[in-house]
Amino acid sequence: MNDPKSSLTQVRDRIDSIDRQIQELISERANWAREVARVKGEGLSAIDYYRPEREAHVLRMVVDRNHGPLSDTEMVRLFREIMSSCLAQEDPLKVGYLGPEGTFSEQAVRKHFGHAAYGLPLGSIEEVFQEVAAGHADFGVVPVENSGQGMIQITLDLFLTSEARICGEVELRVHQCLLSQRESLEGIKRVYGHAQSLQQCKTWLRVNLPSAECIAVSSNAEGARLARHTDDAAAIAGAAAGKVYGLKTVADAIEDRADNTTRFLVIGRSLFPPSGNDRTSLLITVNDKPGALYDVLSPFAKRNVSMNRIESRPAHTGKWQYAFFIDVSGHIDDESLQAALKDMGPVAEQVRVLGSYPVALP
């Protein structure tokens, strides 16, 4: 009869052996990453070594090879952290995001760049654009769309005047919590939260806190910071903000939609080569005439380019003038997309390529 303790010891010994092999291979990978830096030359910064198209290709291979038991999301997260640490050996990437610490924007930074990147919390989405443009941040991460509330208009508007390039996208499953110094709903008179988060939880708030005042603030983490200083307030934020600001979770998963997801854009200063599975974002303005939008969109169908999304915003160039934000499948270097943009030239007033970037991974 097998001794259970002996069998457990054997299993643990095997796990220890595997751990040693994993550690040795990670160290070997880190050394080869240094070799990449040596080949590219001395005096370069992290942004000169970072290649999102290469990273996306590596992570897709991770997904293709994965047969469990860990999920694709977990495997991607683990490999992302390894690559993040290897890249940061000399100089970590500096990534701006809507702060303070504990926001969903910070979670998106960590999901895309890993924990070895240096997060730079900023006071507004506009400041993220400014810091990237000035070179104080290598990249920025900004929210652009929520699955329930739609587009985040301020982000789109900033692209009208900014030269920022879109270098990537992140999809983050958003779980909202009600955080407070209190342990129950009783006595909560005010609820702080970002306007988008208040909207995402409006039904729950109406049912559970009908008399509470809902106060919009610049970010959920800012709301958590405010709630920390008063005993009759609560904040809507992620669990991470509760840990940062020492608040109790009074209720969790209070979002009205079970599939509540926010899409973030990674902004930088350059376009990157194709990764093999890309999306291109365009900013197009048209002349005010009948059929103008049809004339602009028809080249996509003619050239078999799939359009994923279209949004309109006031162009800020004149009354009733509009700009169209359009996402299409493919990279700007693809022949079909190049042909579609050439066809569009005579009928569009302006066409700007905001970015071509890898489609979001799990």
pLDDT greater than 70 at residue 244? yes
State the pLDDT at residue 98: 92
The span from the CA of 139 to the CA of 266, in Å, is: 7
| pTM listed for this prediction | 0.88
Mean predicted confidence (pLDDT) in 39-44: 72
**DSSP assignment of 334-347:** SHHHHHHHHHHTTT
Q: Is the pLDDT of residue 43 over 80?
A: no
Q: If you average pLDDT over residues 196-208, what whole number do you get?
A: 94
Using CA atoms, how far apart are residues 310 and 325, in angstroms rounded to an integer? Answer: 6
Reply yes or no on domain 94-174+261-268 having CATH 3.40.190.10: yes
pLDDT more than 70, % of the chain: 97
Arithmetic mean of pLDDT, 255-272: 93
Q: What is the pLDDT of residue 60?
A: 96
**CATH homologous superfamily for 278-358?**
ACT domain (3.30.70.260)
Whether residue 213 has pLDDT greater than 70: yes
- Amino acid 2: pLDDT: 59
What ranges in 260-330 are assigned the alpha helix state H?
Answer: 292-302
Instruction: Give per-residue pLDDT as tens, 112-154.
Output: 999 999 999 999 999 999 999 999 999 999 999 988 888 889 9
Q: How far apart are CA 120 and CA 95, in angstroms?
A: 6
Note whether 210 and 202 are within 8 A (CB): no
- Report whether pLDDT(345) > 70: yes
Region(s) of the chain under CATH 3.30.70.260: 278-358
Judged by DSSP in three states, 45 sits in coil
DSSP β-bridge partners for residue 281: 327, 355
Mean pLDDT of 268-284: 95
Least-confidence region, from 43-52, 61-70, 105-114, 257-266: 43-52
* Ranges in the chain annotated CATH 1.20.59.10: 19-87
User: Where is average pLDDT lowest: 37-46, 169-178, 216-225?
Assistant: 37-46
Instruction: Render pLDDT for 152-167 as a digit per residue (tens, 0 to 9).
Output: 899 999 999 999 999 9
The whole-number pLDDT of residue 353 equals: 96
Average model confidence (pLDDT) across the chain: 92
pLDDT band for position 255 (cuts 50, 70, 90): very high
330: left (phi over 0), alpha (psi -120 to 50) or beta: left
CATH architecture assigned to 19-87: Up-down Bundle (1.20)
Phi-psi region of 119 (alpha: psi -120 to 50; beta: other; left: phi over 0): beta
Structure tokens at 358: 């890898």
Neighbours of 120 (CB within 10 A): 20
Question: DSSP E strands: which ranges in the chain?
Answer: 94-98, 118-122, 139-146, 150-151, 165-173, 177-180, 190-194, 213-217, 233-237, 248-252, 261-268, 278-286, 307-314, 322-329, 348-358
Among the residue ranges 34-48, 86-100, 175-189, the one predicted with the least confidence is 34-48
Q: Is the pLDDT of residue 1 over 70?
A: no
CATH 3.40.190.10 in the chain, residue ranges: 94-174+261-268, 177-251
Check residue 359 and report its DSSP letter.
Answer: P
Residue 8, pLDDT score:
87
> What's the confidence (pLDDT) of residue 134?
96
pLDDT at 3: 67
Alpha-carbon span 281 to 358, nearest angstrom: 11
pLDDT of residue 91 exceeding 90, the answer is no
Q: Is the pLDDT of residue 89 over 90?
A: no
Distance of CA 96 to the CA centre of its chain: 12
Fold entry, domain 177-251: D-Maltodextrin-Binding Protein; domain 2 (3.40.190)
Q: Which residue has the higher pLDDT, 337 or 318?
A: 337
With beta carbons less than 8 A apart as the criterion, state whether 304 and 175 touch. Answer: no
Confidence of residue 206 (pLDDT cuts 50, 70, 90): very high
Three-class SS of residue 16? helix
